[in-house]
Amino acid sequence: MSTFLTGAALSNPNPNKSYEVVQPPNDSVSSLSFSPKANLLVATSWDNQVRCWEIVRSGTSVGTAPKASISHEQPVLCSTWKDDGTTVFSGGCDKQVKMWPLMSGGQSMTVAMHDAPIKEISWIPEMNLLVTGSWDKTLRYWDTRQANPVHIQQLPERCYALTVRHPLMVVGTADRNLIVYNLQSPQTEFKRISSPLKYQTRCLATFPDQQGFLVGSIEGRVGVHHLDDSQQSKNFTFKCHREGSEIYSVNSLNFHPIHHTFATAGSDGAFNFWDKDSKQRLKVCYDWSKGAENHNPATAKTYIFLHLPQILIFQESEVKGKPRLGTSGRK
């Protein structure tokens, strides 16, 4: 199922050919993850919950049914699935990672700890390890059968973003650091660069061919960066998620699994498909960018929408790539 996800907290939702997930979280959605083996969706939220839904598709119709949920002690910031689809890992402000054997119906248990909130998490099947990134300025690798991490990697600053496509891993930290790792030698930095974007890193995504990565910032801009020094002329940045003089952060980057185009989601309430023929817009959750005084849970309901661009032929054009990325968005 080739599907793009958007999490939302809206007063006036606009599905735009999308399907609403029933019984959504009670507060902002912090992460969304599809099972690699089944039509199951997991969402984490600032309401301290990790929820799972089953997605049922019949022709061009899609339905969702709540399946199960677990709780953390504080807001949950990240989630990932084990590659066999049996288990969900989640981490957040309570400084711990919970392992949830969802498919067997077992109880969740704590398998990892940090000294500060855990912002990023990823399962690495090629290593049979879990990697976690925290605001305590460390990466930690975990064999979930052991109580202690198998390796702790010091970071120059707090971890804000992480992306893995073995053997490539890229970590974004405070102070605009981007640290590249070759996971065949995970204890050594492969390369460290300053972000091509002038403002704080919000999200990362590795190229499907592992030859580079995308970086998004709070300033409504995305950078396209190649790792090979001979390919640096192909690097560029472009503006997105802007309305006139209003500039919004880029909150998420995600490559399409078939066409290798990518989507961005921003605080302007839109998600866009890049290098494709059409775009779609949906609202997203309040991301606290304007402070707590602008958050009004009494008037903003949370929504999750499933957008399936390949159900209908005319919608597939949204995600099919063009021969080359246009230059209109370059600096």
The CATH number covering residue 10 comes to: 2.130.10.10
Identity (one letter) of the amino acid at 294? N
60 within some domain: yes
**128-166 pLDDT per residue, tens:** 999 999 999 999 999 999 999 999 999 999 999 999 999
Which among 84, 92, 86 is positioned nearest to 30, based on CA atoms? 92
Q: Is 245 helix (H, G, I), strand (E, B) or coil?
A: coil
Q: What does pLDDT average to over the chain? A: 86
pLDDT at 19: 84
Model pTM?
A: 0.85
**297-328 pLDDT per residue, tens:** 666 678 888 877 654 433 555 556 655 544 44
pLDDT at 306: 83
- Report the C-alpha gap between 49 and 68 in whole angstroms: 11
323 within some domain: no
Which among 22, 41, 23 is positioned nearest to 31, based on CA atoms? 41
**92-116 pLDDT per residue, tens:** 999 999 999 999 999 999 999 999 9
288 within some domain: yes
- Report the C-alpha gap between 64 and 82 in whole angstroms: 22
pLDDT at 138: 98
331 within some domain: no
Q: Identify the helix (H) or strand (E) that includes residue 316.
A: helix 313-316
- Report the C-alpha gap between 29 and 51 in whole angstroms: 11
Per-residue pLDDT of the chain (331 residues; tens, 9 = 90+): 444 455 544 333 444 567 889 999 999 999 999 999 999 999 999 999 999 999 998 877 888 999 999 999 999 999 999 999 999 999 999 999 999 999 999 999 999 999 999 999 999 999 999 999 999 999 999 999 999 999 999 999 999 999 999 999 999 999 999 999 999 999 999 999 999 999 999 999 999 999 999 999 999 999 999 999 999 988 999 899 998 899 999 999 998 888 788 889 898 878 888 863 333 444 466 666 677 667 776 666 788 888 776 544 335 555 566 555 444 444 4
208 within some domain: yes
Range of the domain at 220: 4-316
CA dihedral 154, 157, 159, 163 (to 10 degrees): -70
Percent of the chain with pLDDT over 90: 65
Residue entry with tokens 């500039």: 247
327 within some domain: no
pLDDT at 302: 82
Calculate the alpha carbon distances from 151 to 92, 98, 297 in Å: 20, 19, 41
**Number of structural domains the chain divides into:** 1
Residue 256 token pair:
């399409």
pLDDT at 59: 76
Residue 322 token pair:
């063009």
Q: Give the β-pairing of 177-182 and 159-165.
A: unpaired
Taking a C-beta distance cutoff of 8 angstroms, is the pair 97, 109 a contact? no
328 within some domain: no
325 within some domain: no
- Report the C-alpha gap between 18 and 305 in whole angstroms: 6
